[in-house]
Amino acid sequence: MTKKLWKVSAYDKNIAADLADECGIDPFAALLATARGLTKPEDIADFFEDSLDNLEDPFNLPDMDKAVSRIEEAITKGEKIMIFGDYDADGITATAMLQMYLEAQGALVESYIPDRITEGYGLNFESTQAIIDAGVDLLITVDNGISAIEEAAFLAENGVEMIITDHHKPMEELPGAVAVVDPHREDSKTIFKEYSGVGVVFNLICAVEGGVEEFLFEEFGDLLAIGTVGDVVPLVAQNRTLVRAGLQALNRNKRVGIAALLKVAEVEKNFLNSRDLAFSLVPRINAVGRLGCPKRALDLLLTDDEAEAQRLASEIEEDNKRRKEIENEISDQIKKMIRENPTIVYDRVMVISGEGWQTGVLGILASRLAEKYGRPCLVMSQEGDQARGSGRSIEGFSLFDALNAVSDCLSHFGGHTLAAGFALPVKDIDLFRRQINEYAASVEMPFQVEEIDIKLNPGAVSLDLLEALEMFEPVGAGNPGAVFGLFGVKISGITPLSQGRHTKIKVERAGMALDALIFNKTRECFEYDLGDKVDLAVELSLNVFRNVKSVTVRVKNIRLSMMDDLKLLSSIRLYERFTRGESLEPSQANSIYPKRELFVSLYRYLASREGQAVNLVKLCSDLGDEGEMFAALKLALDALVELELVSVENDCFVSLHREKEKVELQNAPSLKRLVKFL
């Protein structure tokens, strides 16, 4: 699992006890609230209250009055309105919401969602020409448009007026439009800025109605919840209120299309929460956009016909299966690239490209790589002389700022701090890789952090604890599901599950034991042994089997107890710096140069675990080290591989070549290179 800097939130049990008494909430919920920084009664009230009265006036958004006035004029005059959306869950739900609302007001309206594969994100010359040819009087963008400066000018020259509703960060220049409704504008009066695209559209609808009305949640709350969760915006403040109200509406009365989608997804729950949206509905809505047929999802949300809804939902389910197949195919190619060029994973920013990759799944793959390797990752598809890509980052490194710093070699880019899309000429990929890594070298690159809310004893895990956690729904970005730390537990059992795909471990402490699941980790690649003392970062969820409820404990991360994260991660960074070919100070080179006795210890360890997963961190501990020795051990292993004394298989197994003739360790190429810095 990814090596991270473990950080346990600060919390005061006495403050939590006082809050529980004063506010009348569950004591454990109060403890978790204090861990999240909610230490005053008014904080508790603001966080847990559901009142829609807390929502801001939609007219605080810039140009909202202009947008409302122009829409009302278009409806009155019978002008042709077109909604220009986006192909993800946020854009599709926003498009469906606005189309249904405007139709209910008697507007002449239709929608346009670009094909992700052939047209890409946002307006372009082809789409604007199609809009002009269709005789559109008023174009309303949702979840896009803030950077469409040239397109807005072209539309205006041809008699098409434009209202932009977006939630992405604007450039210095705004497009020329009747109204530009974006909470990130510098002149925005909104206190809250982090709306999704569908959140901005919901504010627009409320503004047309004259203010926030409860019936609008009944009509559109389900779409609002799905789109907001799908866009991974922070589920705090306004967004938290919107999604909670939306989930209540969704569970009271499921839209025909959503009910059909839940059926094919085999989701059979009386009450859906934010995680059900994130892992069941959103991926399927996104899947059709990723494969170039977003209209299918839009039609599903708009239809009232059950037979049509079932047909569309079945087609979407097939799209989702195909999306997974494509992801696996590209993932296998990326793994092959990394095996052939392993140093790529040590770049400050990973940049990976391939020919003809499905652009719709690149963001998912970038996200997985960023999580696995603990660094920003950009994945591109080369199509002719152009490349298009998606990037994902880690907390503390703004991908938007990084792309902005190297924008001279990009055709275009846009996005957020942690996620972005971009395009560039294929000939400039190497230049781009070099420049973005130079930028990363100029800023302080953060360590990936494993956030722990509360330390738990195994005996504290219970169904009552799960009930307390329900108070924090909806969970997601900005308000993540609780992560608990089980520290200093001993592994007393290791069992393969699901034909070996997953692993279950039993851990014990102070006479209490519990089972924990590690998904997508085979027993053979599990690098810990019976009796090892470890720390676990775990998530808890409800499991119901034959009407019996129990708590499922899922391992999010695991580390050897008593290891110093900062020393270990700093040692890893030093190894990566050397592997990238950067210079070292003599003291740094000396600290990572493996001495002969270290080779002896390493070889004995490898011999004892031949054919099993190796854990160099554990060897550090066995040698009385807190992590500083990791780089030297990794270089020693590299040297043994270079001299063909051992081989590494599947990133976790080591085989010894005992028949190999005696060699001189200092002849290993990596050690020869390191000597130059001593």
Looking at the chain, the whole-number percentage of residues with pLDDT higher than 90 is 70
Rounded distance between C-alpha atoms, residue 525 and residue 92, angstroms? 41
| pLDDT at residue 651 in the model | 64
CA dist., res. 220 & res. 93, Å (int): 9
Report residue 240 as tokens: 């938290």
Instruction: Taking residues 446-469, report their average pLDDT.
Output: 92
Q: What number is the average pLDDT over the span 17-25?
A: 92
Q: How far is CA 446 from CA 86, 387, 403, 449, 489, in A?
A: 32, 28, 17, 9, 29
Confidence of residue 544 (pLDDT cuts 50, 70, 90): confident
The tally of CA atoms less than 13 A away on the side-chain side of residue 309 is 17
Average pLDDT for 557-585: 93
Q: What is the DSSP string of 208-222?
A: HHTS--HHHHHHHHH
Give the DSSP H or E segment for 325. Answer: helix 306-340
Domains belonging to the chain, first-starting first, are: 5-49+450-560 (2.40.50.460), 58-211 (3.90.1640.30), 341-447 (3.10.310.30), 565-675 (no CATH)
Contact 405, 398 (CB under 8 A): no
357: confidence class by pLDDT, cuts 50, 70, 90? very high
Q: Does residue 545 carry a pLDDT above 90?
A: no
Mean pLDDT of the chain: 91
d(CA 402, CA 94): 29
Burial of 236 (0-12, 13-18, 19+ CB in 10 A): middle
pLDDT number for residue 102: 97
Coil, strand, or helix at residue 585?
A: coil
Q: Is the pLDDT of residue 252 over 70?
A: yes
Whether the per-residue pLDDT at 492 is higher than 80: the answer is yes
Per-residue confidence band for 488, with pLDDT thresholds at 50, 70 and 90: very high
Q: For 591-618, what is each residue's pLDDT tens digit?
A: 999 999 999 999 999 988 877 888 899 9
pLDDT, tens digit, 9 for 90 and up, residues 501-530? 999 999 999 889 999 999 988 888 898 999
Tell whether the model's pLDDT for residue 658 goes beyond 80. no
Q: Taking a C-beta distance cutoff of 8 angstroms, is the pair 634, 658 a contact?
A: no
Collapsing DSSP to helix, strand or coil, 396 comes out as: coil
Q: Give the whole-angstrom CA distance, residue 648 versus residue 653.
A: 6
Residue 519 is predicted with a pLDDT of: 93
3-state helix, strand, coil in the chain (%, to 5): 45, 20, 35
Burial of 48: CB neighbours in 10 Å, binned 0-12, 13-18, 19+? middle
pLDDT of 500 above 90: no
pLDDT reported for residue 50:
72
Residue 649, pLDDT > 80, answer no
Q: Is 282 helix (H, G, I), strand (E, B) or coil?
A: helix
User: pLDDT at residue 120 above 90?
Assistant: no
pLDDT of 292:
73
Question: What residue has token string 């504010």?
Answer: 203
Specify the pLDDT at position 153. Answer: 92
Q: Please give the pLDDT value at position 1.
A: 64
pLDDT at 327 over 70: yes
Confidence of residue 331 (pLDDT cuts 50, 70, 90): very high
Portion of the chain with pLDDT greater than 70, in percent: 99
pLDDT confidence tier of residue 271, bands split at 50, 70 and 90: confident
E strand residue ranges, 342-448: 350-355, 377-383, 386-392, 412-415, 419-425
Contact residues for 449 (Cβ-Cβ < 8 A; gap 6+): 4, 5, 6, 7, 395
For 366-423, the pLDDT digits (tens) are 999 999 999 999 999 999 999 999 999 998 999 999 999 999 999 988 777 888 889 9
Residues 6+ apart with CB under 8 A from 516: 486, 504, 505, 506, 507, 536, 538, 553, 554, 555
State the pLDDT confidence band at 54, using cuts at 50, 70 and 90: confident
| pLDDT tens string 156-198 | 999 999 999 999 888 888 999 999 999 999 999 999 999 999 9
Residue 93 to residue 450: CA distance in whole angstroms: 33
β-bridge pairing 454-455 and 449-452: unpaired
Q: Is the pLDDT of residue 30 over 90?
A: yes
The Cα–Cα gap between 373 and 11 comes to: 30
What angle is formed at CA 250 by the lines to CA 247 and CA 255, rounded to 5 degrees? 155
Q: Output the pLDDT for position 315.
A: 93
As beta bridge partners, residue 495 has 504
Q: Is the peptide bond before 342 cis (omega within 30 degrees of 0)?
A: no
